[in-house]
């Protein structure tokens, strides 16, 4: 299997930010480790990555306990903005999650996040 071009990951996230109007986006492992990001230098990318891992873990437990089926994404709408987290895919025990922060006036986030997820899944060879 050919090794993925990891340099493409930040470019995919930057394109997603432009298309979706996001201020910060990260690609994180399920354990919260930052893989790639696209954000301003003042953004705490490691914190967003850690939260992506934590939210994914909690969502998986809720999904399992309540028998809700596959989790598509998790959205948090807050007074000052929004956050969305989407599982990109997994390979064995390892999973990848996109986390994106956006101003509260961004209305539609699913398309840009979905397109980026598909591109990353193909690049990384995840299912």
Handedness of CA 76, 50, 42, 19 (dihedral sign): negative
Report the 10 Å Cβ neighbour count for 38: 24
39 and 24 Cβ atoms separated by less than 8 Å: yes
Residues spanned by the domain of 78: 8-124
pLDDT per residue over 21-43, tens digit each? Answer: 999 999 998 888 899 999 888 88
**Domains: count for the chain:** 1
- The vertex-70 CA angle with 93 and 67, nearest 5°, equals 105
Share of the chain above pLDDT 90, in %: 40
1 part of a folded domain: no
Whole-prediction pTM: 0.86
Residues in the chain: 127
CA distance 121 to 49: 18
Report the 10 Å Cβ neighbour count for 4: 14
CA distance 33 to 13: 16
31 part of a folded domain: yes
pLDDT band at 127 (very low <50, low <70, confident <90, very high): low
What's the Rg (C-alpha) of the chain?
14
Closest CA to 22 of 88, 95, 92, 84: 84
81 part of a folded domain: yes
Here the CATH number for the domain that contains residue 71 is: 3.30.450.30
Run of H or E including 84: strand 82-91
Q: Give the N- to C-terminal CA distance of the chain in Å, as an integer.
A: 15
3 part of a folded domain: no
pLDDT per residue over 71-100, tens digit each? Answer: 778 888 899 999 999 988 877 778 889 999
Q: Is the pLDDT of residue 109 over 60?
A: yes
């Amino acid at each position: 299997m050919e090794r993925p071009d990891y340099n493409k990951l930040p470019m995919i996230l930057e394109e997603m930010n432009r298309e979706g109007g996001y201020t910060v986006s990260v690609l994180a492992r399920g354990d919260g480790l930052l893989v790639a990001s696209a954000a301003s230098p003042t953004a705490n990318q490691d914190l967003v990555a850690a939260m992506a891992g934590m939210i994914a873990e909690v969502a998986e437990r809720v999904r399992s306990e309540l028998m809700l089926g596959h989790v598509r994404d998790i959205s948090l709408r807050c007074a000052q903005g929004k956050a969305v987290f989407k599982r990109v895919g997994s390979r064995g025990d390892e999973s990848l999650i996109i986390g994106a922060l956006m101003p509260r006036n961004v209305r539609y986030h699913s398309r840009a996040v979905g397109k980026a997820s598909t591109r990353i899944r193909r690049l990384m060879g995840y299912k």
